[in-house]
Chains A and B, each alone.
Chain A
Amino acid sequence: MSFPWAKHYAPKHPLMQWIDSRLPLPRLVYSAVGAGYPVPRNLNYFWNFGVLSGAALAIQIVTGIVLAMHYAANGLVAFDSVEHIMRDVNSGWMLRYAHANGASFFFIVVYLHIFRGLFYGSYKAPREMVWLLGLVIFLLMMATAFMGYVLPWGQMSFWGAKVITGLFGALPVVGTPIQTWLLGGFAPDNAALNRFFSLHYLLPFVIAGVIILHIWALHIPGSNNPTGIDVKGPQDTVPFHPYYTAKDGFGLGVFLFLYCAVLFFAPNALGHPDNYIAANPLSTPAHIVPEWYFWPFYAILRAFTVDFILPAKLWGVIAMFGSIILLFFLPWLDKSPVRSGNYRPAFKKFFWLLVIDVLILGWCGGAPAAEPYVMISQLAAAYYFAHFLIILPIVSRMERPLPLPNSITEAVLEKHGNAAA
Chain B
Amino acid sequence: MATLETTDTPGEGAGDGVRRRDFINIAAVSFAGVGAATVLLPLINQMNPSADVLALASIEVDLSAIKEGQAVKTIFRKQPLFIRHLTGAEISAADKVDPSSLRDPQTLEERTVDGKKQWLITMGVCTHLGCVPLGAGEGEIKGEFGGYFCPCHGSSYDTAARIRKGPAPTNLEVPKFAFKSDTVVQVG
Chain A residues within CB distance 8 Å of chain B? 159, 162-163, 166, 180-182, 184-187, 189, 191, 195, 281-284, 286-288, 305, 307, 311-313, 369-370
Nearest-neighbor residue (CB-CB) of A287 within chain B:
B152
Once A281-B80, A284-B132 are accepted as A-B contacts, the answer to whether A180 and B75 lie under 8 Å apart by CB is no
| Nearest CB in chain A: distance from B131 CB, A | 4
Query: CB distance A313 to B169 under 8 Å?
Result: yes
**Per-residue interface assignment for chain B, residues 86 to 130, with 1 indicating a CB less than 8 Å from any chain A CB and 0 otherwise:** 000000000000000000000000000000000000001000111
Residues of B contacting A: mostly = loop
Interface-lining segment among B3-11, B16-24, B47-55, B59-67 = B47-55
Nearest-neighbor residue (CB-CB) of B134 within chain A:
A284
Query: CB distance A186 to B77 under 8 Å?
Result: yes
The reply to whether the CB of B33 lies closer than 8 angstroms to some CB of chain A is no
Q: How far is the CA of A234 from the CA of B168 in the complex (A)?
A: 63
* Residues 146-188 of B contacting A (Cβ, < 8 Å): 151-154, 167, 169
Q: How far is the CA of A187 from the CA of B80 in the complex (A)?
A: 10
* Residues 10-51 of B contacting A (Cβ, < 8 Å): 44, 47-50
From the candidates B47, B132, B151, B167, name the one contacting A184 in the complex (CB within 8 A).
B47
From the candidates A189, A191, A288, name the one contacting B131 in the complex (CB within 8 A).
A288
From the candidates B49, B78, B151, name the one contacting A284 in the complex (CB within 8 A).
B151
Query: CB distance B167 to A288 under 8 Å?
Result: no
Once A180-B49, A191-B49, A191-B50 are accepted as A-B contacts, the answer to whether A186 and B130 lie under 8 Å apart by CB is no
Count residues of B near A (Cβ-Cβ below 8 Å). Answer: 25
The reply to whether the CB of B79 lies closer than 8 angstroms to some CB of chain A is yes
Q: How far is the CA of A21 from the CA of B49 in the complex (A)?
A: 54
Query: CB distance B169 to A286 under 8 Å?
Result: no
- Beyond contacts A284-B130, A313-B169: 6 other A-B pairs, Cβ-Cβ < 8 A, are A184-B53, A185-B77, A187-B79, A281-B75, A284-B132, A370-B154
Residues of B within 8 A of A307 (CB): 169
A-B contact count (CB 8 A): 69
Nearest-neighbor residue (CB-CB) of B153 within chain A:
A369
Q: How far is the CA of A159 from the CA of B48 in the complex (A)?
A: 20
Q: How far is the CA of A186 from the CA of B79 in the complex (A)?
A: 8
Query: CB distance B130 to A162 under 8 Å?
Result: yes
Query: CB distance A191 to B151 under 8 Å?
Result: no
Query: CB distance A313 to B53 under 8 Å?
Result: no
Most buried by B among A162, A307, A370: A162
Query: CB distance A283 to B53 under 8 Å?
Result: no
Residues of A within 8 A of B129 (CB): 163, 166, 288
Query: CB distance B53 to A282 under 8 Å?
Result: no
From the candidates B47, B80, B124, B128, name the one contacting A181 in the complex (CB within 8 A).
B47
Residues of A within 8 A of B132 (CB): 282-284
Query: CB distance B48 to A184 under 8 Å?
Result: yes
- 9 residue pairs of the A-B complex, CB under 8 angstroms, read A162-B130, A185-B53, A186-B78, A186-B79, A187-B77, A283-B132, A284-B151, A305-B167, A311-B169
| Nearest CB in chain B: distance from A158 CB, A | 11
| Nearest CB in chain B: distance from A281 CB, A | 6
* Those 9 A-B pairs whose CB atoms lie nearest each other, nearest first: A186-B77, A284-B131, A187-B78, A185-B53, A187-B79, A284-B132, A162-B130, A185-B49, A166-B130
Once A281-B80, A284-B151, A369-B153 are accepted as A-B contacts, the answer to whether A184 and B50 lie under 8 Å apart by CB is yes
Q: How far is the CA of A284 from the CA of B47 in the complex (A)?
A: 26
Nearest-neighbor residue (CB-CB) of B188 within chain A:
A186
Q: How far is the CA of A305 from the CA of B155 in the complex (A)?
A: 13
Residues of A within 8 A of B169 (CB): 307, 311-313
Nearest-neighbor residue (CB-CB) of B154 within chain A:
A370
Residues of A within 8 A of B75 (CB): 281-282
Q: How far is the CA of A104 from the CA of B90 in the complex (A)?
A: 50
| Nearest CB in chain A: distance from B40 CB, A | 14
Query: CB distance A184 to B80 under 8 Å?
Result: no
Q: How far is the CA of A42 from the CA of B117 in the complex (A)?
A: 78
Residues of A within 8 A of B154 (CB): 370
Query: CB distance A191 to B53 under 8 Å?
Result: yes
Residues of B within 8 A of A181 (CB): 44, 47-48
Residues of A within 8 A of B167 (CB): 305, 312, 369
Residues of A within 8 A of B77 (CB): 185-187
